[in-house]
Amino acid sequence: MTTPDPARRQVHLVAHFPGVNSATVWSDPASGSQIDFASFRHFARTAERGLFDYVFLAEGLRLREHGGRIHDLDVAGRPATLAILAAMASVTRNIGVVGTLTSTFNEPTELARQLATIDHLSGGRVGWNVVTSPDAFHGANFRRGGFLPYAERYTRAEEFVALAKALWDSWEAGAILADREAGRFVDPERVHRVRHRGPQFDVAATSTVPRSPQGYPVIVQAGDSPAGRDFAAANAEIIFSRHTGYADGQQFYRDVKGRLPAAGRDEDSLLILPGASFALGDTDAEARERAREISLAQTSPQTAVAWVEAIWGRALPGLDPDGRLPDAEPGEGEQRQGQVSTRVEDRIARAAELRARAEAERLTVRELVAAETAHHTFVGSPATIAAEIDRYVQGRASDGFVLVPHLTPGGLDEFVDRVVPLLQERGVFRTEYAVDPVTGANPTLRRTLGLPEPQRPDSARYRPEGGPGDASAAESVPEDAAVPEEVPA
Ligand SMILES: Cc1cc2nc3c(=O)[nH]c(=O)nc-3n(C[C@H](O)[C@H](O)[C@H](O)COP(=O)(O)O)c2cc1C
């Protein structure tokens, strides 16, 4: 084990709890529960043993459906994010805990309070992955039903995050006096009400929670459109991306980092971490064989048929997973709901492409689906995978990876045991967390990530005599600053 080499870009690693979905091999005898606390504890502690930056949860607000029925790969459930973050924080000490929570269906004051609370309980180790949620299928879960028009989802996200930050910043340092002699606990002059009027929210709120040890939770974003990228450049400190190819990753990296100067930010204030899966073996050949086995295990006969039906947009009764693709042409219906990746623009062209591949490679339906959905980013021996991760980071194709193992909860263990030491030997991965040598205090998540702590806005902005500050930023201001009656559009 060597110390990190300051001349080389450092790798960031995130552990994505796999739960149960189409990439998880739940039928493997080594697979455990996706909901028992023991699974979350094992996974979070393994990631902490591997000195990962944080452990991560995606969010699914509604069980997927296929052909109007619950899609079985979601039946096992998707437990709620905040409770799991708190639980994982309580059994770890230094690693960050980051959860996905939609800005489309939550309310800012309540969500800001929940996140700030866990940020305090964990010693400043929390992050929030702000997503805008995919569609009206999920929207039907909520009070207003339906969905927002696409563009409005990002304007709502902007307003949501601005309001959350105003609340998180609304307690000044030193607001808690705890002065026994004077009998004063809080200095009310230093706790500011936030008055916000905007197209999405009209709120007069006070935060019930002081600023956290890292200021406020780290903001993560996952969304790929130009609007999503602009939102990230203005608001996020991390992007969870889908761009796992090397050249594609470099292009995405340049694009997003190129948007930062317009937002007054520098390159290192935003980290780009694509999702990645891996198949390890003692040798590269053994790893390739293992990757093939995993893809086949991920594609049960039922999964293969459901995948083809989702592309074909219709039920295909009698389709043999060990036989050929159907002769019938695709329909126009939506067979699958709640899964963005199965939507197809031109079904007939896609069907022709699949038929051509199956014929050329002499593949059965199941083999074809396994080949089409195989998405291991890293396949090889520990040395090969460590070298590959290092290449991506030095080549600015990413700042590291969000690793998604195929087994819950033990799928990360071999990566921690076999690949992490090799990254450390290369001098590109930490060999310890930055625990305070005097107090023993844990590092905040921002510190672990090497991100600057957010500066609290100048207190003058919070006082009537200081004026409202920048009027263009006055959509979300403390109530005791002058607030315009109407927020300019
Ligand atoms: C890598 C990645 C992960 C995502 N994870 C989630 C998730 O866990 N839950 C969710 O509701 N949406 C998730 N989304 C969806 C985004 O929030 C967003 O709704 C979607 O990508 C459409 O926005 P876009 O057009 O800007 O990409 C994810 C998107 C990406 C790219």
Structure-token pair, residue 136: 């009206």
CA 26 from centre of chain: 22
**Which one-letter DSSP state was computed for residue 163?**
H
Atom of ligand 1 nearest to the CA of 154: 26
Q: Are 483 and 197 in contact (CB under 8 A)?
A: yes
- Alpha carbon distance 256, 249 (integer Å): 11
Ligand 1 contacts CB of residue 100 (under 6 A): yes
Ligand 1 contacts CB of residue 99 (under 6 A): no
Query: Cα of 133 to ligand 1 centre, how many Å?
Result: 6
Ligand 1 contacts CB of residue 240 (under 6 A): yes
If you take atom 25 of ligand 1, which residue's CA is the nearest one?
A: 225
- 185 burial via Cβ count (<10 Å: 0-12, 13-18, 19+): exposed
Ligand 1 contacts CB of residue 131 (under 6 A): yes
CA 31 from centre of chain: 23
- Confidence (pTM): 0.91
Query: Cα of 203 to ligand 1 centre, how many Å?
Result: 27
- Alpha carbon distance 231, 229 (integer Å): 5
The 3 state secondary structure assigned to 128-147 is: EEEECCCCHHHHCCCCCCCC
Query: Cα of 60 to ligand 1 centre, how many Å?
Result: 10
- Alpha carbon distance 425, 446 (integer Å): 24
If you take atom 9 of ligand 1, which residue's CA is the nearest one?
A: 59
**Candidate of 131, 154, 240 to mutate for ligand 1, largest count of ligand atoms within 8 Å of Cβ:** 131
Atom of ligand 1 nearest to the CA of 61: 11
Per-residue pLDDT of the chain (489 residues), as tens digits, is 578 899 999 999 999 999 888 788 988 999 999 999 999 999 999 999 999 999 999 988 888 888 888 887 764 457 899 999 999 999 999 999 999 999 999 999 999 999 999 999 999 999 999 999 878 888 888 877 777 887 788 999 999 999 999 999 999 989 999 999 999 999 999 999 999 999 999 999 999 999 999 999 999 999 889 999 999 999 999 999 999 999 999 999 999 999 999 999 999 999 999 999 999 999 999 999 999 999 999 999 999 999 999 999 999 999 999 999 998 889 877 788 877 665 677 889 999 999 999 999 999 999 999 999 877 789 999 999 999 999 999 999 999 999 999 999 999 999 999 999 999 999 999 999 999 999 999 999 999 999 998 988 865 555 443 333 222 233 455 554 433 333 332
Q: Is 113 helix (H, G, I), strand (E, B) or coil?
A: helix
Query: Cα of 339 to ligand 1 centre, how many Å?
Result: 10
Query: Cα of 341 to ligand 1 centre, how many Å?
Result: 10
Q: Helices 226-235 and 246-258, interaxial angle, to 10°?
A: 60
Q: What angle do CA 338, 341, 344 make, to 5 degrees?
A: 105
Query: Cα of 352 to ligand 1 centre, how many Å?
Result: 29
Ligand 1 contacts CB of residue 338 (under 6 A): no
Structure-token pair, residue 259: 């948007």
Query: Cα of 135 to ligand 1 centre, how many Å?
Result: 10
Query: Cα of 107 to ligand 1 centre, how many Å?
Result: 19
If you take atom 31 of ligand 1, which residue's CA is the nearest one?
A: 223
Q: Is the dihedral of CA 13, 14, 19, 21 positive or negative?
A: negative
List the alpha helices (DSSP H) in 265-396. Answer: 284-298, 301-312, 347-361, 365-373, 382-394
- Alpha carbon distance 184, 188 (integer Å): 10
Query: Cα of 16 to ligand 1 centre, how many Å?
Result: 15
Q: Are 54 and 63 in contact (CB under 8 A)?
A: no
User: Which of 60, 56, 235, 81 has its CA nearest to residue 154?
Assistant: 235
Ligand 1 contacts CB of residue 275 (under 6 A): yes
Q: Is 299 helix (H, G, I), strand (E, B) or coil?
A: coil
Rg over CA atoms, the chain: 24
Ligand 1 contacts CB of residue 141 (under 6 A): no
The pairs formed by 338-346 with CB atoms below 8 angstroms and a separation of 24 or more are 338/60, 338/62, 338/63, 338/64, 338/65, 338/71, 338/74, 338/134, 338/135, 338/137, 338/138, 339/64, 339/71, 339/310, 340/134, 340/135, 342/307, 342/310, 342/311, 344/311, 344/313
Helices and strands of the chain, counted as H and E runs: 16, 17
Atom of ligand 1 nearest to the CA of 231: 26
Query: Cα of 150 to ligand 1 centre, how many Å?
Result: 13
If you take atom 20 of ligand 1, which residue's CA is the nearest one?
A: 223
Query: Cα of 176 to ligand 1 centre, how many Å?
Result: 39
